[in-house]
Structure 1
Amino acid sequence: MAASHDPQAPVPPRAGVGLKAEHYREIVETNPDIGFFEVHAENYMGAGGPPHRYLTAIRERYPLSLHGVGLSIGADRPLDRDHLRRLQGLIARYEPGLFSEHLAWSSHDAGFLNDLLPLPYTRETLDRVCEHIDAIEEMLGRQMLLENPSTYLAFAESTFSETDFIAEVVRRTGCGLLLDVNNVHVASTNQQWDAEAYIDAYPLAHVQEIHLAGYTREADEAGRPLLIDTHNRPVDEIVWDLFAHVVQRIGPKPTLIEWDADVPTWPELKAEADRAEAIMAAARHRELRHASAR
């Protein structure tokens, strides 16, 4: 039986998936029981066409989260006002419950790079990132969530840890956070630090959304594991364990399965969301059991 949904409600503390063109028709025809859908803003900045027709139909039934990849918040240059205006129009059109962007940069004077590049965690970078987030939130008239990056190296000039840097951004701007658990595992493996300790040091009270994804395992020139954030396969068991740890700390949050390349069938993607739902349901059950025992 088709599930009932209130698209005007805030994004619920349930599992959602990234909306892909391969699944448009099946979603519209079957109305699956899923918490929400998320789209990349830049894929819907055109005026019309099939993507908008399907997104409109799906938005009428489900809460929506909007995820940006093109604002280049960390770039040492002014924000792209034309891009912001397009984003403003998209938000007005679809009224997403959540809007997020990356702690990264992807643009410079020569143009736009098709990648999300890391930043040195310095006072200068902090000032620039906070200035840009303030301008974005003022223009959009809403809070933005900032996503922790997947990284492959650390900058020698950094004077903050990543968690301290992000906490200071939140303190200064009032932005919310998107905790990408796969990014934590990727970065901790590549840079040889403790993923669980990172999560415990993270400003978890400000997390409003979680991302889970798959990665590709390679090796560096010394033969050490090198993880690439490819979003092209199921969530790894280690990432599921880290997710369970996060949920134990802060409870269920809107949790997205990101699968952007080698897109699977709808049942396979839905099964990943169902697993996230089960982990959150178990956390709720433990909390109720503990509450009744007090």
Structure 2
Amino acid sequence: MSALPDARPERAGGLPAGAGLSLKPAHFADAQRARGRCAFYEVHAENHLGAGGPAHRMLEWIRADHALSIHGVGLSIAGMALNAPHLDRIAALIERYEPAVFSEHLAWSSSAGEFLNDLLPVPYNAATLSRVCRHVDQVQTRLKRRILIENPATYIQFETSTMSEGDFLEALVARTGCGLLLDVSNAFVSACNHGRDAWADILALPLHAAEEIHLAGYAAESGGSGATLLVDAHNGPVEDAVWPLYVRVLGCIGPRPTLIEWDNDLPTFDRLLREAARIEVAIDSASRPQRGAA
């Protein structure tokens, strides 16, 4: 992947509409040598809540030379109550580095001060919507910025749900003014697990509010009944079934900042750049009609 064009339009508060990578410490030296070959970098907020050290030196380098996106995995926005001290630490991180984007998941991961190493689902109903809207408002007020909420990968459905995920997120965006982090892989995983059409599920989301896109690999597991369950594993390349959905999304909403999430079983940095190159090809293709019209 060659150096990125300077004229590419920006979205999501300053993220270039190109390919980004989730930067891990194991790849930091390679990223420094490959300066300019990635449109932006994203990091998990919870890995950078200390006061200093190597984690912050990496953020300082990103912030000096690249656009930065910070992705939360522990705010538990869909939980029963926000953890105020945790939110304060996130706010300090945001104030220190002023990233282009902060995002979180439509999920819960903590209860009564205990943090769980998972992103857990919630029923989609009026009570959950009211609680999540209240929490998003609290977070946006505390951070003094608009945040993006990611559609989750789900493995169960609740009998108490009274609305679809698309209707839930549309209402959340309308009530709070937050944006959508569209995870195309999550949409595919959820649709397959629940026997739905992935493209129909994506079209039902508030795509007008999509300011960033995530793509990731998934794993297939067989349950006791013999049924296959897809798991949002982030441990391999983006699967072939997801790429056509991503291209169709770009055809609907135009180029968006797009991140490759590869968090487990890390490959070489060059392998990540090859994944990013596929995004650049798709974005360039989606941009051509718009450039011609201009």
- TM-score range for the pair, normalised by the shorter chain length: over 0.9
Q: Counterpart in 2 of 1:112? A: 115
Task: Indicate conservation of the 8 Å contact 1:5/1:62, yes or no.
Answer: no
Q: For 1:47 and 1:226, how far apart are their aligned partners in 2?
A: 40
- Indicate yes or no: 2:15 matched with 1:11: yes
Match of 1:75 among 79, 85, 88: 79
Q: Counterpart in 1 of 2:88? A: 85
**3-state SS of 1:237 partner:** coil
Q: CA deviation at 1:4?
A: 8.9
The Cα offsets for residues 145-178 of structure 1, whole Å up to 9 and x where unpaired, read as 0000100111011001000000000111000010
**3-state SS of 1:252 partner:** coil
Q: CA deviation at 1:32?
A: 3.7
Q: TM-score, structure 1 length as denominator?
A: 0.94
Q: Counterpart in 2 of 1:172? A: 175
Q: CA deviation at 1:39?
A: 0.3
Q: CA deviation at 1:112?
A: 1.3
Q: Structure 2 matches for 1:75-224, cutoff 5 A?
A: 75-76=79-80, 78-109=81-112, 111-224=114-227
Q: Structure 2 matches for 1:29-44, cutoff 5 A?
A: 29-44=33-48
Structure 1: unaligned runs, 5 residues or longer? none
Match of 1:23 among 24, 27, 48: 27
Q: For 1:23 and 1:119, how far apart are their aligned partners in 2?
A: 35
Letter in 2 for 1:275: R
- Indicate yes or no: 2:80 matched with 1:56: no
Q: Counterpart in 2 of 1:239? A: 242
Q: For 1:114 and 1:226, how far apart are their aligned partners in 2?
A: 20
**3-state SS of 2:119 partner:** strand
- Indicate yes or no: 2:236 matched with 1:227: no
**3-state SS of 1:264 partner:** coil
Structure 2: unaligned runs, 5 residues or longer? 8-12
Q: 1:98 to 1:110 in 2, by over 3 A?
A: closer
Q: CA deviation at 1:218?
A: 1.3
Q: 1:177 to 1:2 in 2, by over 3 A?
A: closer
Q: Counterpart in 2 of 1:259? A: 262
**3-state SS of 1:238 partner:** coil
Q: For 2:142 and 2:6, how far apart are their aligned partners in 1?
A: 30
Q: Counterpart in 2 of 1:274? A: 277
Q: CA deviation at 1:183?
A: 0.3
Task: Using the aligned pairs only, state the percent identity.
Answer: 50
**3-state SS of 2:241 partner:** helix
Task: Please give the root-mean-square deviation of Cα atoms over the aligned residues, in Å.
Answer: 1.8
Letter in 2 for 1:261: N
Letter in 2 for 1:200: L
Letter in 1 for 2:78: G
Task: Indicate conservation of the 8 Å contact 2:148/2:178, yes or no.
Answer: yes
Q: CA deviation at 1:200?
A: 1.4
Q: For 1:249 and 1:238, how far apart are their aligned partners in 2?
A: 18
Q: CA deviation at 1:286?
A: 3.4
**3-state SS of 2:260 partner:** strand
Task: Indicate conservation of the 8 Å contact 1:3/1:31, yes or no.
Answer: no
Q: CA deviation at 1:122?
A: 1.0
Q: For 2:138 and 2:159, how far apart are their aligned partners in 1?
A: 29
Instruction: State the aligned residue count.
Output: 289
Task: Indicate conservation of the 8 Å contact 1:5/1:61, yes or no.
Answer: no
Q: For 2:113 and 2:131, how far apart are their aligned partners in 1?
A: 20
Task: Indicate conservation of the 8 Å contact 2:219/2:233, yes or no.
Answer: yes
Q: CA deviation at 1:54?
A: 2.1
Letter in 2 for 1:81: A
Q: 1:156 to 1:283 in 2, by over 3 A?
A: same
Q: CA deviation at 1:29?
A: 2.9
Letter in 2 for 1:128: R
